[in-house]
Structure 1
C-alpha cells in the first residue's frame, strides 16, 4: 500500500492523559489540562505535522479538537469502531500508533462535525430533551403519590400534568379535600363527559406521606419546566444569530403545522427556520413539524451536501439496510449505535404509520404487514430522510398525492408485471368490461 499522508499523527484520548503518535518517533503523553493540550498542539507543529486523526471518545475530544483547529491543523475525528479491527492492540501507546498508521494510508473516514453555532444549538436542544425526560419521571412520581392515597385521577384524565390535572393537584396541596369543589377546576370540555367519574376518583384516603411525596414531585416538575423555558430562550437566541444575515420572512407560504407535544416557547420559530434554510420549508414533508425540523437542524446542520447522495445520508443516519453476508450465511446485523438524527426520523415515521391519508403511511402499512412494525418504521424513516436530503440539496418540490394515488400506482405496477409474465408465457389477456 502507498502512503498518502506523510506528515500525519494519531492521538489516543483519555480522561487524564492523551497519547500522541508520530511516524519514526516514540509516543509522547500529555495531561488533559488546557495548558498541556496547547503544548501538545505546539509539539505537533514543531514536528511538521499537518493532519491529525483521533477517536470520538466521549466529550473529551471537543476541547482538543478546537485547540488543534485554531492552530491550523487538519483534524480528522474518526469512529473508534473503525480502528479496532486488529486484535492485540489495546494499550494507549499502541492505539495512537495504530491510528497514525491507518490515517497515513488513508484508511479512516472522517466523522461529521457541526459548525460552532450548530454545536451550540445542539447543546441547548439536548439539554432541553434531558429536562423533558426528567420532568416525565416526576410526572410518574405524581401518579404514584396519588395512587398511594387512592386518588384515581390518572385513570380518568389522559394527563395528570395537563391544565385540569395540575389545578386539582395544586388545590389538594393547598388543603382542599372536597371532590365537588375540586372537580370545578377542570376544563368545561372535560366536565361534559367525565364529571361523575372525576368526583368518584377524587374521593381518596389522604395521608401525610402521600401528600409529602406529591408535593416533592410537583416541585421537581415545576423546576424542570423552568429549565425548559430557559433552554427555549437560549435556542431562540441562537436562531436569531443564524438567521441575522438572511432577509426576514414575515409571510410564510402556509400556516405552520401544529406541534402537539413539548412545543418550544419560541415566537415565530417557523420564520427563523425558513430564513436559515433560504425559504425552503421542510414541513411540506409528511411527519415534519417545526419542532423536529429544529431538532434535525441541531443534529445535521444546514449543509447537507457533505453527504454526496441520499444513500450516503441514510447510511450515516443508520437507516440503510445492512449487509452481513459470508458465503451462504445470511446473518442479522444490528448496529451498536445510531445518530440522534436517525431517531428523529424514526419518531416522525412512527406517526405516519398511524395515518390514513398519506402516501408514506400506506407504504409503511404494506411493509408492516409483511415484516413487522420495527422494519416498517425504519423503511418509512429512510424514505423520509431521502426526501429531506433531496429537498435541501436537489430542490425537490414535494406534493402529497394521498393513499388513493399510491394504490393506483401499485395496481398499475401489478398490471405491467402481469402483462410481462403473460408475454413470456405466450398467454393473451383479455378484459371483461361487463359490470
Structure 2
C-alpha cells in the first residue's frame, strides 16, 4: 500500500483546547505531552512557562467565546506566536470527543500547517471596538425602554403615539416627564407641544385623557428613569470615543492637514455620535481618504469601519475579493462535475457586514447615482435582497481600493443630493442678480413658462428621451 507522508510545517507547535475553567495543552501526541491548567493568572503564567521550557514557538487554539482572550494576551506578551482559528476548521469525524483528544488534534493539525488564522484587529482598533460595541448595547437598552414606555402609555390611555411621530422626541419626552411628575391635566400636558409638531394643542389634549391607573404610572416612571440613565450612559460613551479618536489622530506620524468637503446633505439621526465631526475625523483617521463621498455610506457606517477593522486591517487582505469573502458577501461557489451546484452567499454576519448592507439599502433609495443604477439593475433581475448583497459587496470593494491604494471615489457621473442642488440654484440666482439680468427674460419664472406654453400649437408635444 502506497503511503503519502505529510510535511511537518511547525515542528515546535502546541495545541490548546480552551475552556471556561480549564485549559488543556498538548505539545505532542503522547499521553505525557498533555497537561491541564486553570484559568487564574498564576495558572496562565505556569502554562506559558511550561511551553517555553518545552521549546514551543507557536500555539494554535480555538476562538471559544471570550475564554481565549486572557490566555491570548499572556502568550503574545511572552513572545510565542499564536494562531487563533475558527472552531469549524478543527472538527474531526469518526472519533471520540474529549478535552485531551481535542487539544492533541489541534496540535497535530497545527504542526502540519492546516489551521488558518482568524482576523484580529490591532490594539488601537480593538480598544475603539470595545467602546463602540458598548455604546451600541446602551442604545439598544434605551430603545427597549422606549418600547416599554409606549406600552405603559397605551395602558394609561395616553395615545401619545397617535398625535406624536416619535414619543422619544422633544414633545414626547417633555410630556412623559410631566406625567411622571404627577401632572395629568390634558391641557397642561399639551402645552409642551413643540412648534414643529403637526398636530394642534387641542388634538394633543384629546389624546391625553388618562384612566389614572397607579400601577401603570409606576411602571412608566421606572421606564422613564431607565431611559434617562441609558441616555446619560450614551453621552458618556460619546465623550470617551471622541477623546480616544482625538488622541489617536494626534499620535499619528503624518496627520493630514487639509479638510474634506462638508457633507451637509448626509443628515444624522438621534443615535449619531456627538462631540466630534466624523467627516473630518475619518478623513484624518484613514490618511486622507474621504469615505463619506460614497453614496449610501453614512456616519454610522464610518464608525463601524473605524471600530471593526481600522485602516491597518484592510492591509491584511491581499485583494478586495478576499475582503468581500471575509465579510461573507461573495458567493460560495460549489462546483462538481463541471456544474455549479450552488452559488449562494454563506450564512452568518458581523457588525461590519450589517453596516454595509444598511448602506446598500440606502443606495437603493437614491435616484441617479452610479451605485443606484447598479442596484436597480440587480433588483429588477433577482429582487431587492440580492441587490442589497451585491451592492454591499461593491461598496466593500470600493472601500478596500480607496483605503489600500489611497485613491478618491471617482464615479462616472457625480450624484447631487437635494441640498446640493438647492445650493447650486441659489448660487446661480446670485450670479444672475450680480449681472443685472431679469430672470423673466431668461424664462426662469413660472409665469413666463406658462405664457410660452400658451403660444405653442395645441398638438405640440415636447421632445423627451425614452
- Give the TM-score normalised by structure 2: 0.82
Choose the corresponding residue for 2:133, options 121, 126, 129: 126
Deviation (angstroms), 1:245: 2.5
Choose the corresponding residue for 2:249, options 219, 238, 243: 243
Q: How does 1:328-367 map to 2 (within 5 A)?
A: 330-331=341-342, 335-367=346-378
Is 1:259 paired with 2:268? Answer: yes
1:272 alignment partner in structure 2: 281
Give CA-to-partner distance per residue, 1:313-341, whole Å, 9 cap, x none. 01001111122344568357564532321
Give CA-to-partner distance per residue, 1:284-313, whole Å, 9 cap, x none. 112223332122111112111110000000
Q: Secondary structure at the match of 2:160?
A: coil
Is the contact made by 1:156 and 1:197 (CA closer than 8 Å) also made in structure 2? yes
Is 1:376 paired with 2:387? Answer: yes
1:154 alignment partner in structure 2: 161
**Which stretch has the larger CA shift, 132-141 or 83-92?**
83-92
Distance 1:89 1:355 in 2: 56
**Higher Cα Rg, which structure:** 2
Deviation (angstroms), 1:396: 2.9
Distance 1:98 1:402 in 2: 55
Is 1:297 paired with 2:303? Answer: no
In structure 2, relative to structure 1, the CA distance for the partners of 1:359 and 1:147 (3 Å cut) is: same
In structure 2, relative to structure 1, the CA distance for the partners of 1:401 and 1:260 (3 Å cut) is: farther
**Which stretch has the larger CA shift, 170-179 or 330-339?**
330-339
Deviation (angstroms), 1:404: 9.2
In structure 2, relative to structure 1, the CA distance for the partners of 1:173 and 1:125 (3 Å cut) is: same
Give CA-to-partner distance per residue, 1:221-266, whole Å, 9 cap, x none. 1111111112112212321232122466675221134322411122
Is the contact made by 1:117 and 1:238 (CA closer than 8 Å) also made in structure 2? no
In structure 2, relative to structure 1, the CA distance for the partners of 1:82 and 1:261 (3 Å cut) is: farther
Give CA-to-partner distance per residue, 1:43-89, whole Å, 9 cap, x none. 11111111111110111111111100011111111011111153425
Q: Secondary structure at the match of 1:302?
A: helix
Deviation (angstroms), 1:273: 2.4
Is the contact made by 1:249 and 1:271 (CA closer than 8 Å) also made in structure 2? no
2:9 alignment partner in structure 1: 4
5+ residue gaps, structure 2, are 1-5, 417-465
Is the contact made by 2:329 and 2:345 (CA closer than 8 Å) also made in structure 1? no
Is 1:117 paired with 2:128? Answer: no
Is 1:208 paired with 2:214? Answer: yes
2:90 alignment partner in structure 1: 83
Q: Secondary structure at the match of 1:198?
A: helix
Distance 2:341 2:201 in 1: 58
RMSD across aligned positions (CA): 2.3
Distance 1:350 1:393 in 2: 25
Distance 1:67 1:175 in 2: 56
1:422 alignment partner in structure 2: none
Choose the corresponding residue for 1:313, options 315, 319, 323: 323
Q: How does 1:10-25 map to 2 (within 5 A)?
A: 10-25=15-30
Is 1:50 paired with 2:53? Answer: no
Give CA-to-partner distance per residue, 1:181-210, whole Å, 9 cap, x none. 32221211114x554442322223221122
Aligned length: 405
In structure 2, relative to structure 1, the CA distance for the partners of 1:317 and 1:85 (3 Å cut) is: farther
5+ residue gaps, structure 1, are 406-434
Choose the corresponding residue for 2:229, options 201, 212, 223: 223
Distance 2:154 2:215 in 1: 12
In structure 2, relative to structure 1, the CA distance for the partners of 1:321 and 1:335 (3 Å cut) is: closer
Q: How does 1:92-111 map to 2 (within 5 A)?
A: 92-111=99-118
Is the contact made by 1:120 and 1:238 (CA closer than 8 Å) also made in structure 2? no
Distance 1:313 1:404 in 2: 26
Distance 2:345 2:299 in 1: 31
Choose the corresponding residue for 2:290, options 281, 285, 297: 281
Give CA-to-partner distance per residue, 1:85-130, whole Å, 9 cap, x none. 5342522111111111111111111111112121111111111101
Distance 2:246 2:281 in 1: 7
Deviation (angstroms), 1:375: 1.7
Is 1:140 paired with 2:147? Answer: yes
Deviation (angstroms), 1:135: 0.7
